[in-house]
Amino acid sequence: MASPTESLPALRTNPKAIFFTDFDGTITLQDSNDWMTDNLGFGVELRRQGNKDVLYNGRPFRDAFQEMLDSVTKPFDQCLELLLQNVKLDPAFKDFATWCRANNVPIVVLSGGMQPVIRALLAHLVGEEEAAAMQIVSNDVKARPGKSINDENGWDIEYHDDSSFGHDKSLEIRPYAALPERPVMFYAGDGVSDLSAAKETDLLFAKAGRDLVTYCEKESVPFTVFNDFSDIHKIVADVVDGKISVQQAATGTK
């Protein structure tokens, strides 16, 4: 049997904590898939309706998201170029990522977005070196039959797994959570793509004013609200430095 360290890459450096995080709208200020849908696809109204259908009417995220991306027909390389021009980074994320690397806290990006978009945006926003240090588990992009991804209406999303989420983020987190002794586990997210991960870690950060907060309130899932990564940075550093326990941090009891 493979040792846990081999099958669970974030254990390789024997860290005290692992930081799992969503990408779009969490590390970045704009969700790249929302941006494409709103600006290049069927627009903000239908996109919001799609998210509501998932949150309130039990529609699978996978199907709603597929519809949004299907409405974007621009060639993939042009989409990528526009995203690089328009998507900005959370102003405090780079400092946090640098701190994580210096303090042996692996960052694992769990995303419903597409791998080449995430890699390109991360390298552009935080630099190649910082980006290369992060593990990214996400959906991917594929060519439609008989086309190249850079043709008009040429690309499609390729989902990570068969779940109703398209990418069930709990699949990556659970093997770590099941270890008899394990690092402290954090998760940060903002939206409907995070529903599958919301209950899996010791401390969930949910972005102020976003759909994930609504969901956690509705489902009574405990969470800590954040405005930007400086809020997260302070709490994670306090826990890793042993100033407070993760339980105290999660319940705000100190």
Number of chain positions touching Mg ion (CB under 5 A):
5
**Would you count residue 25 as binding Mg ion (CB under 5 A)?**
yes
Closest to Mg ion by CB, 183 vs 210, is 210
Q: Is 156 a catalytic residue?
A: no
Q: Which is nearer to Mg ion, 21 or 41 (CB)?
A: 21
> Mask 191-220, x = binds Mg ion (CB under 5 A)?
x-----------------------------
- Measured distance CA(104)–CA(92) in Å, rounded: 18
Cβ atoms within 10 A of the Cβ of 233, count? Answer: 18
CB 188 within 8 A of CB 23: no
Which residues 101-160 are close enough to bind Mg ion by CB under 5 A? Answer: none
Residue 22 a catalytic site member: yes
Q: Bridge-partner residues for 189, per DSSP?
A: 206
Name the residue with tokens 């705000």. Answer: 252
CA–CA dist 139, 115 (Å, integer): 6
Which CB, 24 or 130, lies closer to Mg ion? Answer: 24
Cβ at position 31, least distance to Mg ion in Å:
5
Q: 22, 31, 90, 168: which is the annotated catalytic residue?
A: 22
We find the least distance from the C-beta atom of residue 177 to Mg ion, in angstroms, to be 21
27: phi > 0 → left, psi -120 to 50 → alpha, else beta; which?
A: alpha
Strand order in the sheet with 135-143: 155-158, 135-143, 107-114, 17-21, 184-189, 203-207, 224-226
CB of 68 to Mg ion, least distance (A): 13
Looking at beta carbons only, is 27 or 79 nearer to Mg ion?
A: 27
Q: What are the catalytic residues?
A: 22, 24
User: Residues interacting with Mg ion, by CB under 5 A?
Assistant: 22, 24-25, 190-191
